Amino acid sequence: MPRLKADFCTEDAVDTPYWWDAAQPAKATPDDIKATTEVAIVGGGFTGLNAALVLARAGKEVTIYDAEAPGWGASSRNGGFLGPGWAFFDTAMAYGPDVARRVVEESFLSLQYVKDVVATEGLDCDLKVMGYFKGATAPRVYDKLGRMIDRINKVMPCDAYMVPRAAQHAEIGTDLYHGGISMPGYAGIQPAKYARELARAATRLGVRIHSGAKVSDIRPDNGGLRFRVAGRDVVAKQVLLATNGYSASVSPYLKRRIIPVGSGLVATEPLPPDLMARLMPKQQLLAGSQRVVTYFRPSPDGTRIILGGRVLDMSGRHETNVANARYIRSLLVKIFPELAQTKITHYWHGQLGFTFDGMPHVKQIDGLHFAGGYNGTGVARASWLGSRVAHGMMGSAEGSTVYSGLNFETRPYVHGRAWFYPLAVMYYGMLDKWDRRGL
């Protein structure tokens, strides 16, 4: 395990996900890569694995190729916040009320979908309905959140409600926020366990999963597709690209449309139970309302705090990991000043896949199928859209989703590297400061 050495880290701190302590993505490859497969899935995260389950259940011969290992990408690195992601609602309004209504509908369906898959396949992944409180960083943000809930309720009743500042300590042990919004239906999940269990379920259904299998050079071949993987040529009738924030190497089209954005997390050392009870009285998922988001939660065993935020640098070198960890830990101390002396045991980061319209997309591109662009909210959506795209590949009406009808935009001078990202963070950071002006 790579060690993370700094004064704010424990002796045995590492720069791998806390989740991997219980479920490290397995690198084992069953046997040789075959020269043909009916359906090839590139990427073994929540999108690819859920698609594989649907296709295999329908009797298709399915092979997953992952450049690293199944679950290695964002799917085993995320915060494990499993919810409808209502923030998409306002973004969807740009497409009109009908699209926005369908987005809300699919948001609820995606949450239910994961609960159903976990129950049906018997997946051991610490799924628990915990609730979610988002703290408003200013009184005007509190009002704005209230108006958003009113708008959603006009489309479809939702269980969210506002919590005024006076009642906030029942939700979280900080004075940083000005009240907030409570969303009781949100669940927490151990994402690396969920990915591992999905891979096991897919294997049980006959899906072949190859690790260390980077796919390249995908091209048409006699009505199907041919590609290179691990020094071999493989021919498939259909190919699904399930690479989300890691798409740049596999598709020039996606390189211009999926913006890879880094997000990092830290896990604290175990905290005394009375302190945990004071800081997180409901043991729920938590976040601040900033555009440059900070999100945090208790570990599934309730002993530690896991907190995520933006990363300053994604190179992965030891010194930049230390700088990222120091910055993310500083966000934790800002929320909970009494953790000023608390050390961290884990720091890690992963890549989100953003899009220019802020919406996920399901598309067919030159004969290739794609689902992705979850804009940082993909635990439920990637699972759901993985299943939808699989139904769509089989020509079934169940493949219908609002995300297949949207225009998948790009911008001039965008060729994979998110050179504009620091500017965007600066801009959104300024808007966050503007929200708090005068306070």
Ligand X SMILES: Cc1cc2nc3c(=O)[nH]c(=O)nc-3n(C[C@H](O)[C@H](O)[C@H](O)COP(=O)(O)OP(=O)(O)OC[C@H]3O[C@@H](n4cnc5c(N)ncnc54)[C@H](O)[C@@H]3O)c2cc1C
Q: Which residues bind ligand X (CB under 6 A)?
A: 42-48, 65-68, 72-75, 77-81, 214-215, 242-246, 249-250, 263, 265, 308, 350-352, 372, 374, 376-380, 382
Residue 204 neighbours by CB distance under 10 Å: 11
Please report how close the Cβ of residue 348 comes to ligand X at its closest, in angstroms: 7
Measured CA to CA, the distance from residue 291 to residue 369 in angstroms comes to 31
CA distance 82 to 127: 9
Nearer to ligand X, 74 or 201 (CB): 74
CB 349 to ligand X: min, Å: 6
Cβ closest to ligand X, residue 111 vs residue 149 = 111
125: CB partners within 8 A, 6+ apart? 118, 189, 190, 191, 193, 194, 197
List 187's β-bridge partners, or say none: 82, 129
Taking the mean position of all CA atoms in its chain, how far away is CA 391? 22
Q: What is the closest distance, in whole angstroms, from the C-beta atom of residue 230 to ligand X in the complex?
A: 10
- Complex with ligand X: residue 138 or 195, whichever CB lies closer: 195
Which lies closer to ligand X via its Cβ, residue 104 or residue 250?
A: 250
- DSSP for 405-420, written as a single string: SS-----TT-SSS-TT
Question: At closest approach, how far in Å is the CB of 79 from ligand X?
Answer: 3
- Minimum CB distance to ligand X smaller for 135 or for 178: 135
User: Which residues on adjacent β-strands are paired with residue 370?
Assistant: 241, 363
Residues whose CB is less than 8 angstroms from the CB of residue 167 and which lie 6 or more positions away in sequence, other chains included: 179
- Cβ of residue 209: shortest distance to ligand X, in angstroms? 11
Residue closer to ligand X, measured from CB, 73 or 179: 73
- DSSP code per residue over 272-340: -HHHHHHH-TT--EEEE--SS--EEEE-TTSSSEEEEEE-S--S--HHHHHHHHHHHHHHHHHH-GGGT
Residue closer to ligand X by CB (options 374, 403) is 374
Contact 350, 74 (CB under 8 A): yes
Q: What are the start-end ranges of the E strands in 66-123?
A: 81-82
State in angstroms the smallest separation of the CB of 183 from ligand X. Answer: 13
Residue 433 C-beta: closest distance to ligand X, Å: 24
Question: Which residues lie below 8 Å from residue 32, measured CB to CB, with a gap of 6+?
Answer: none
Contact 87, 377 (CB under 8 A): yes
Q: What is the DSSP letter of 70?
A: T
CB closer to ligand X out of 137 and 211: 211
Of residues 70 and 179, the one with the C-beta less far from ligand X:
70
Q: Which is nearer to ligand X, 179 or 308 (CB)?
A: 308
Q: How far is the CB of 215 from ligand X (least distance, A)?
A: 4
DSSP state of 18: G
d(CA 58, CA 397): 14
Closest residue to ligand X using C-beta atoms: 378
In the complex, what is the shortest distance from the CB of residue 272 to ligand X, in angstroms, rounded to a whole number?
26
Residue 59 falls in which region: left (phi positive, over 0), alpha (psi -120 to 50) or beta: left
Please state the closest distance from residue 220 (CB atom) to ligand X, in A: 18
Tell me how far apart the alpha carbons of residues 281 and 270 are, in angstroms, rounded to a whole number: 16
